C-alpha cells in the first residue's frame, strides 16, 4: 500500500490484501481551495475531484482497492475498462472479487454513473452509493433525463443503493425526496453545521458516506 498509481481516467490504490474489495469513486466538479483551507486568494485556485476525493478515501486504503476518477468529466465505462485492465495486470480480476465492486458517485459523478449503470450495468456492483449527486436541470441537461434515470435505477434495484444527501445538492427536490422515501433507512440527510457554507456541507456528505461503506 503506497501512493496511488496513475492509470487512464484517474488513480488507483492497491490494498495490502489482493483479495480486498474494490471501491470505484467518481467525484464532482472542481472546488475552490478556500473551501478546504479557508485562505482567501486574489485569484481562486480550483482543486479537481481526483485530488480532493482522496481526503475522504485515504483512511480506507488498507480495506479496499480504490479507484478515484481524475475529474467529473471522466467517462464511466471507459474508466472502468482501464481500471479492470490495470487490476488484471496486477493479478486482480474485479469480476472474481467477492463481494462485487462498490460504486461511489459524488455530486457531478452522476455523469459517470449514467454510463456505468445503463443496461445491465448495476449487475457489476454489490453496492451503489449516491452521495449528494446532482439530478437537476441545467444548460447542459435541459431535460429531466438525469433525475428520471436515477429514479428508475433506484426503483429497479433499491437494495443496491444508499443515498446520502443535503437539502440542496440534488437541485431537484422532487427526485431527491422520491429516492429518499424509496430507500427509507438507507437514505441519510446531512444538515449544515455552524459556520459551514453550502459547499462545505455538500463535501461533508463524503465523510458521512464513507462511514457507511460495508
- What's the pLDDT band for 209 if we cut at 50, 70, 90? very high
Give the angle subtended at the CA of 123 by the CAs of 14 and 70, to the nearest 5°: 40
Phi, psi for residue 192 in degrees, rounded to 5 = -65, 150
Domain 5-210 architecture: 3-Layer(aba) Sandwich (3.40)
Cα–Cα nearest to 109, from 48, 193, 37:
48
pTM score over 0.85? yes
pLDDT at 137 (0 to 100) = 74
Q: Helices in the chain by DSSP H: which ranges?
A: 34-37, 49-52, 54-57, 76-88, 110-117, 145-156, 173-183, 198-210
Query: For all residues of the chain together, what is the average pLDDT?
Result: 94
Q: Which residue has the cell 449516491?
A: 130
Compute the average pLDDT of residues 18-44.
Answer: 92
What does the alpha-carbon distance between residue 158 and residue 129 come to, in Å, rounded to a whole number? 11
Q: Is the pLDDT of residue 35 over 70?
A: yes
- What's the pLDDT band for 32 if we cut at 50, 70, 90? confident
Compute the average pLDDT of residues 50-58.
Answer: 97
Cα–Cα nearest to 117, from 134, 107, 130:
130
- What's the pLDDT band for 21 if we cut at 50, 70, 90? very high
User: 136-155 pLDDT, tens per residue?
Assistant: 876 565 568 899 999 999 99
- What's the pLDDT band for 2 if we cut at 50, 70, 90? low
Percentage with pLDDT > 90 across the chain: 86
CA 142 to each of CA 24, 65, 77, 105, 138: distance values in angstroms, whole numbers, following the listed order:
28, 36, 23, 21, 5
Percentage with pLDDT > 70 across the chain: 96
Give the angle subtended at the CA of 29 by the CAs of 102 and 176, to the nearest 5°: 65
131 three-class SS: strand
Q: Is the pLDDT of residue 206 over 70?
A: yes
What does the alpha-carbon distance between residue 210 and residue 194 come to, in Å, rounded to a whole number? 22
Q: Which residue has the cell 493479478?
A: 91
What does the alpha-carbon distance between residue 115 and residue 81 come to, in Å, rounded to a whole number? 12
pLDDT at 37 (0 to 100) = 87
* Domain definitions of the chain by residue range: 5-210
User: 169-197 pLDDT, tens per residue?
Assistant: 999 999 999 999 999 999 999 999 999 99
Q: Which residue has the cell 467525484?
A: 27
Give the distance, in angstroms, between the CA of residue 141 and the centroid of all CA atoms in the same chain. Answer: 19
Amino acid at each position: 500500500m503506497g501512493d496511488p498509481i496513475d492509470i487512464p481516467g484517474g488513480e488507483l490504490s492497491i490494498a495490502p490484501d489482493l483479495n480486498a474489495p474494490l471501491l470505484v469513486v467518481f467525484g464532482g466538479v472542481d472546488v475552490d481551495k478556500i473551501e478546504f483551507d479557508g485562505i482567501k486568494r486574489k485569484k481562486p485556485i480550483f482543486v479537481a475531484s481526483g485530488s480532493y476525493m482522496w481526503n475522504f478515501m485515504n483512511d480506507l486504503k488498507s480495506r479496499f482497492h480504490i479507484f478515484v476518477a481524475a475529474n467529473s468529466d471522466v467517462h464511466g465505462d471507459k474508466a472502468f475498462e482501464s481500471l479492470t485492465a490495470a487490476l488484471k495486470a496486477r493479478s486482480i480480476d474485479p469480476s472474481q472479487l467477492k463481494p462485487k465492486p462498490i460504486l461511489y458517485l459524488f455530486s457531478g459523478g452522476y455523469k459517470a454513473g449514467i454510463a456505468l449503470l445503463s443496461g445491465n450495468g448495476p449487475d457489476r456492483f454489490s453496492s451503489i452509493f449516491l452521495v449528494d449527486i446532482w439530478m437537476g436541470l441545467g444548460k447542459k441537461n435541459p431535460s429531466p433525463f438525469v433525475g428520471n434515470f436515477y429514479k428508475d435505477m433506484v426503483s429497479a434495484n433499491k437494495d443496491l443503493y444508499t443515498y446520502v444527501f443535503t437539502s440542496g445538492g440534488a437541485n431537484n427536490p422532487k427526485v431527491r425526496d422520491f429516492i429518499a422515501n424509496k430507500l427509507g433507512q438507507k437514505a441519510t440527510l446531512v444538515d449544515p453545521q455552524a459556520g459551514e457554507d453550502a459547499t462545505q456541507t455538500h463535501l461533508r456528505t463524503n465523510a458521512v458516506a464513507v462511514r457507511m461503506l460495508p
